[in-house]
Amino acid sequence: MASFIWNTTVKKLPAAWRATRGQGVRVGIIDSGILFGHPALRHLDKPGCKYDARLSNPTGNDDVTDCRPVGKPHGSSCASIIGGLSVAADGVEGVAPGVELFVFRAVNASCDPSMELFMRALKTAIAKEVDILSVSVAPLPDQNISQAAIDTLFRQLAQKNIALFASLRNTNSWQMLHRIPFPANRPETITVGVATPTLLENMPPDGVPSPRIHLLAPQFPVSFHADADELAPQQDQLRSSFATASMAGIAALALAHARKKAGDPKLRLSKDMLLTTLQSITAPFSQQAMLDESGLQFFFNQP
């Protein structure tokens, strides 16, 4: 296969954004862990950036080995899309290989997310001052965790201008797309999803996405690294979790560029400012335009 460089494959990214490679931006992944043994991911393995939410007090140097459910390791796939390096002539490189990656493993031994683990991961991510979060896990409600505690954490997230990108459902149903799971249903998040051809074809004639849906991409064949035992890239159709990871990487490029222009290495953008910035590299949502699109293009839903 030909090489797949996310940084140049995503349409409409300015050259000035691409050139930053996300250098200096702290991106966190709340997911199933990561397989740092893969050479495409090894450069991301840094002390103080690995947190296992199963521990009552994650240290930053925990074992965050990716959980291996049926299929490919999920967190590793998303990490490859955000910041992986090409390791072969036909390799895959992520959107922003210069980022500082923080890994928060938030699944149990059975690879299932829980609200307790998610909350601990999110609390740690806020304390460690990450700039951007990519979240593809969708923990179920837990009666032992109060709504007030959840609200408090997300309020802290917004106050610090930490951008949280959260996945929508993978579905062929327009109705199911609008059943937005936690944490994508939180007003503080930026939601990202994929519109399959079937979903687009079955849209109601007057179908307009909910204002809670921000960014959608049509399905597109993509490549990434996932398994430490396989040097060859994996191939799949774009899914919501992959789209979310790529958008977190794009946000890292945008933030690195904004910091360079402002001369402020600590600059962050509010959710509204970041959405405005990202709108400049997307196309306006359109059923026909998405059906006709043949590249990796994101579409912005303007409420």
Q: What is the CB-side half-sphere exposure of residue 102 using CA atoms within 13 A?
A: 28
Angle at alpha carbon of residue 33, lines to 55 and 31, rounded to 5°: 95
Per-residue pLDDT tens over the stretch 12-52:
999 999 999 999 999 999 999 999 988 899 999 999 999 99
Residue 1 pLDDT: 41
In this structure, are strands 26-31 and 132-135 parallel, antiparallel, or unpaired? parallel
Burial string for 99-135 (b: 16+ CB within 10 Å, else e) reads: bbbbbbbbbeeebebbbbbbbbbbbbbbebebbbbbb
Q: Structural domain boundaries of the chain?
A: 4-300
Angle at alpha carbon of residue 64, lines to 60 and 65, rounded to 5°: 155
Per-residue pLDDT tens over the stretch 210-251:
999 999 999 999 998 877 667 778 889 999 999 999 999 999
Residue 299 pLDDT: 96
Report, as an integer, the average pLDDT of 239-268: 97
Burial string for 213-246 (b: 16+ CB within 10 Å, else e) reads: bbbbbbbbebbbbbbbeeeebbeeebbbbbbbbb
| Region of poorest pLDDT, from 83-92, 157-166, 192-201 | 83-92
Structure tokens given for 61: 């140097």
Residue 280 CA to residue 232 CA, distance in Å, equals: 34
Burial string for 39-60 (b: 16+ CB within 10 Å, else e) reads: bbbeebeeeebbbbbbeeebee
Per-residue pLDDT tens over the stretch 164-223:
999 999 999 999 999 999 999 999 999 999 999 999 999 998 888 999 999 999 999 999
Per-residue pLDDT tens over the stretch 93-114:
999 999 999 999 999 988 999 9
The model's pTM is: 0.96
Residue 102 CA to residue 105 CA, distance in Å, equals: 10
In this structure, are strands 221-224 and 234-237 parallel, antiparallel, or unpaired? antiparallel
Instruction: Write down the H helix ranges in 52-173.
Output: 74-83, 115-127, 147-159
What's the mean pLDDT when you consider all of the chain? 93
pLDDT for 61 beyond 70? yes
Assigned CATH class of 4-300: alpha beta
Are 27 and 134 within 8 A, CB to CB?
A: yes
Cα dihedral 136, 298, 237, 231 sign: negative
303 pLDDT tier (thresholds 50, 70, 90):
low
